């Protein structure tokens, strides 16, 4: 009971925090837009449209903060470690694609991404990784003729 009340409270404050963050971004956006040339009504400058958009965003998010919607937010389980593994797999791919080529990058991504899901069955995973990597090379390198290095050290 105590736990669910705490979760509801954190969701409520989280909602305000998100709205507040958008408001700050809207304000910064409007100020930055104002630093560009606004121009005149007949010949509007590069800053006019972003300035209008930033102002509208600020007002709209103000409505969200002042009159929050009554819909109930559901608590969402966030498995941090597994999510980090999944997000890390993308970072690893981005770090390795230019240096080591498509095959090592894809294999590393798949290993780390699969580790985010339980239970890990390494035998079937190895087959899936091999098939996916081969499929990607065939489709993108030989099919679409994209300028990827298959393997480069």
Partner 1 sequence: MELLSNLSLGFSHALSWENLLFCFIGVSVGTFVGVLPGLGPLAAISICLPLTYYLDPTTALIMLAGIFYGAQYGSSTAAILLNIPGTSTAAVTCLDGYPMTQQGRGGVALLITTITSFLGSSFAIMLVMIFGPVISNFAMNFSSAEYFTVMLVGLIAASTLSVGSPTKGIVMVIAGLAISMIGTDSYTGQYRFTFGILDFAEGVSLVALAMGLFGIAEILKSLSGSGPIEIDSKSITFRSMIPTRDDVRRIWLPTLRGASVGSVTGAMPGAGPALASFLAYAVETQVSRKPEIFGKGAVEGIAAPEAANNASVQTAFIPTLTLGVPGDVVMAVLLGALMIHGITPGPNFIAQNGPMFWGLLASFWIGNFMLLILNIPLIGIWIKMLAIPPRILYPVILSLVCIGVYSIRNNVFDVYLMLGVGVVSFVLDIFRYPTAPLLLGFVLGPLMEQHLRRALLLSRGEISTFVERPISLIFLVIAALLLLRLVPFRAMAAKLRKNTG
**CA gyration radius for the chain?**
24
Q: Does 38 bind partner 1 (CB under 8 A)?
A: no
Interface with partner 1 in residues 82-111 (CB under 8 A): 82-83, 86-87, 89-91, 93-95, 97-98, 102, 105-106, 109-110
Q: Does 116 bind partner 1 (CB under 8 A)?
A: yes
Binding mask 43-82 for partner 1 (x = CB under 8 A): xxxxx-xx--xx-xx--xx-xx--x-x-x-x--xxxx--x
**Minimum CB distance to partner 1 smaller for 124 or for 152:** 124
When binding is defined by CB under 8 A, the residue of 38, 125, 126, 149 that contacts partner 1 is: 125
Q: Does 151 bind partner 1 (CB under 8 A)?
A: no
CB 75 within 8 A of CB 126: no
Instruction: Pull the structure tokens for residue 95.
Output: 């770090």
Name, in order, each residue with C-beta under 8 angstroms of 51's C-beta and a sequence gap of 6 or more: 30, 33, 34, 38
CA distances (Å), origin 152, targets 68, 97, 99, 105, 146: 54, 9, 7, 11, 15
């Amino acid at each position: 009971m105590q736990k669910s009340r705490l979760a509801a409270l954190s969701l409520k404050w989280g909602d305000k925090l998100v709205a507040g963050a958008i408001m700050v971004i809207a304000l910064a956006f409007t100020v930055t837009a104002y630093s560009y040339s606004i121009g005149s009504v007949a010949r509007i400058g590069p800053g006019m449209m972003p300035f209008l958009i930033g102002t509208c965003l600020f007002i709209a998010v103000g409505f969200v903060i002042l009159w929050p919607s009554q819909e109930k937010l559901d608590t969402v389980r966030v498995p941090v470690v597994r999510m980090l593994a999944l997000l890390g797999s993308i970072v690893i791919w981005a770090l390795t694609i230019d240096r080591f080529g498509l095959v090592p990058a894809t294999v590393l991504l798949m290993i780390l991404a699969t580790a985010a899901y339980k239970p890990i069955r390494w035998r079937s995973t190895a087959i899936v990784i091999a098939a996916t990597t081969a499929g990607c090379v065939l489709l993108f390198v030989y099919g679409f003729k994209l300028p990827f290095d298959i393997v480069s050290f």
